Structure 1
Amino acid sequence: MKDLIAISGLMAMLAGGAQAQGVPDLRGTWLPSQTAHIVEGPTRHAQSGREAVPGHETYQRTTSRFVFRFEGQDGRTFWGVLSSTGVSERIVGALSVDGRRFVMTDEDGHFTGTVVDNDTLDYCYQHATPTNRAVACGLLTRQRP
């Protein structure tokens, strides 16, 4: 019986430690790469630069470099700023209990994604307003000093 209690206690400690270790620290600067995106209409980041999708005058791609800065984190919630050339907007997000998935929102759209490793996030973004819509998927890579 003592062995069963000891094993149960050890399993509880390991489970608690695994959950604590499962929450990645996202604070820092992240840059998108391998992005597939398309925009229709005058989005907030249009002034940062756009190019037409070949063969279609309505759809465009953003040519600006985006930067995500996660300034703070409290457990599984985090916040910061998403910027492109001349445009910034606040972002807030949360990690799932297992620390492998996340949701995030900026001022007009939503992100979903998975944590690939401590320095890589796989994300998709979408928004739709009465005047425009946009979708994107790609990777965010943490920039190390």
Structure 2
Amino acid sequence: MGLSHRNRLGRPIVGRRHGAGVADSRAIRGGAGRLPQGSATVSGPPPGEGTSNPLETDGSQRERWNMKTAIALLALFVLVSATSVAVAQDGIPSLLGKWDTESRGGLLLHGKKQGNITHWEPKQKVLKGRIDVTGQDGRFVSGTYTSARGAEKFIGMVSADGKSLYAADLDGIWDARIVDNDTLEIVYRHVKPTDTVVAIGIAKRQK
């Protein structure tokens, strides 16, 4: 039953059923912070899991690409080095055979007559001869040089790059540039008590 009361100022106070206000306040306090039954909940992965960072992904891919590039360059360097060594060791030309030579130079006498094994004579400007390379073991070669005045043996070494020949005979030395498989450009010189000779010539391999 609703009864009307008056407060101290004489204003009526509307009465409520017994316990209604208490029940409402309890309902409010009990339901605070809770979702009604049947409502959906929102959840997500723990921090740091299930997320992607484009910057980190690009950085990882770039690092892997740089690693692969470095490995490829290293492999290429090793291959080129091995190839260079193989060329230096196996690219030595064969000089075996007979070579016709023609040289231009001159002789300087120290006495009355040139030495017995000197192929040049006073006032001579051109010398023709033949080189016989009869032995070759890798870079080491040996043979005989022959001209109208006689013959003398020589030994020599081919350079590591296969482009030059350095030789010595009984009284002089000669350096040759290997122009191609069948051509040598030779510089010859000697100095001894009887005479001095300097000459430059071309040698062509006989076919």
TM-score by length of structure 2 reads 0.57
Structure 2: gaps of 5 or more residues? 1-67
Residue identity (%): 28
> Is the counterpart of residue 76 in structure 1 residue 144 in structure 2?
no
Structure 1: gaps of 5 or more residues? 51-58
Aligned amino acid, residue 133 of structure 2:
F
2:104 to 36, 42, 49: 36
Residue 27 of structure 2: aligned partner: none
Residue 142 of structure 1: aligned partner: 205
User: Higher RCO, 1 or 2 (CA under 8 Å, sep at least 6)?
Assistant: 1
Pairwise CA distance, 1:11: 1.4
Pairwise CA distance, 1:61: 1.2
Identify if the C-alpha distance between structure 1 residues 105 and 137 changes in structure 2 by more than 3 Å, giving closer, same or farther: same
Structure 1 residues 95-110: aligned runs within 5 Å: 95-110=158-173
What secondary structure sits across from 1:13 in the alignment? helix
Q: Following superposition, which runs of at least 4 residues in structure 1 exceed 6 angstroms of deviation?
A: none
Pairwise CA distance, 1:62: 6.7
Identify if the C-alpha distance between structure 1 residues 71 and 135 changes in structure 2 by more than 3 Å, giving closer, same or farther: same
Aligned amino acid, residue 108 of structure 1:
D
> How many pairs does the alignment contain?
134
Which structure is higher in strand share?
1
Which structure is higher in helix share?
2
Aligned amino acid, residue 99 of structure 2:
W
TM-score by length of structure 1 reads 0.79
Bigger-Rg structure (1/2): 2
Identify if the C-alpha distance between structure 1 residues 128 and 68 changes in structure 2 by more than 3 Å, giving closer, same or farther: same
